[in-house]
Amino acid sequence: MPPSEDAGGGPMGGAGAPDTTREIARDTARLAALYQELILDHYRRPRNKGTLEGADAHVAAKNPLCGDEIDLQLRFDRGRVAEAKFAGRGCSISQSSASMMTELVRGKAAAEVHALARRFAEMLGGSEEAAADERLGELRALSGVSKFPMRVKCALLPWKALEEGLRVPRR
Ligand code: ZN
């Protein structure tokens, strides 16, 4: 006797699916607003802005396309970034990136800093996996910049200065 197959009860017409799409859109909008706020907060109240007394490395970087300037100063301690400060001016992307970066790299070893710089560049290249990487901390707020190739250089400017600063022989 052939097994009776219950092929009945055809598709009911996927009720409930449209709501999910709307929820995702709402969450995405909320995250974008949160990220925007974070960028502006760092732009208006930059962390670690000023002059670092007794800096071991001092790097000036410019992005002529946008007019951004970053003057980064680093102090090292036993192979780690003990402190990072910056001076500069320019767009909110470059200045907030510098502010967030100086917060994130404090106390980190050079190898960790290079790994973060790579990850950050991947995120700006459009990697969603990198954009979700918690090691990037607040810098994930800049993930939307990947959609604007002209602004990627703004976000990368302080990191370029940082990697150059790490090449300075350390005590
Ligand atoms: Zn810029």
Ligand 1 centroid vs 67 CA: distance in angstroms? 6
Ligand 1 centroid vs 17 CA: distance in angstroms? 41
31 domain residue, yes or no: no
Ligand 1 centroid vs 47 CA: distance in angstroms? 18
Parent domain of 140: 42-165
Render pLDDT for 27-78 as a digit per residue (tens, 0 to 9): 888 889 999 999 999 999 999 999 999 999 999 999 999 999 999 999 999 9
Amino acid at 51: T
**Quick one: pLDDT at residue 51?**
96
Q: What is the CATH number of the domain that holds 78?
A: 3.90.1010.10
Ligand 1 centroid vs 85 CA: distance in angstroms? 19
The contacts found for 126-131 with CB under 8 angstroms, 24 or more apart, are: none
**HEC sequence for the chain:** CCCCCCCCCCCCCCCCHHHHHHHHHHHHHHHHHHHHHHHHHHHHCCCCECCCCCCCEEEEEEECCCCEEEEEEEEEECCEEEEEEEEEECCHHHHHHHHHHHHHCCCCEHHHHHHHHHHHHHHHCCCHHHHCCHHHHHHHHHHHHHHCHHHHHHHHHHHHHHHHHCCCCCC
Render pLDDT for 3-18 as a digit per residue (tens, 0 to 9): 544 544 444 445 556 6
Render pLDDT for 126-162 as a digit per residue (tens, 0 to 9): 999 999 999 999 999 999 999 999 999 999 999 999 9
Ligand 1 centroid vs 33 CA: distance in angstroms? 20
Ligand 1 centroid vs 20 CA: distance in angstroms? 36
Structure tokens at 136: 């990037």
Number of domains in the chain: 1
> pLDDT class for 169, splitting at 50, 70, 90?
low
Ligand 1 centroid vs 60 CA: distance in angstroms? 15
Ligand 1 centroid vs 68 CA: distance in angstroms? 5
What's the rounded Cα separation, in Å, for the pair 150 and 67? 12
134 domain residue, yes or no: yes
Ligand 1 centroid vs 171 CA: distance in angstroms? 33
Ligand 1 centroid vs 24 CA: distance in angstroms? 30
94 domain residue, yes or no: yes
Structure tokens at 66: 């946008």
26 domain residue, yes or no: no
**Quick one: pLDDT at residue 9?**
45
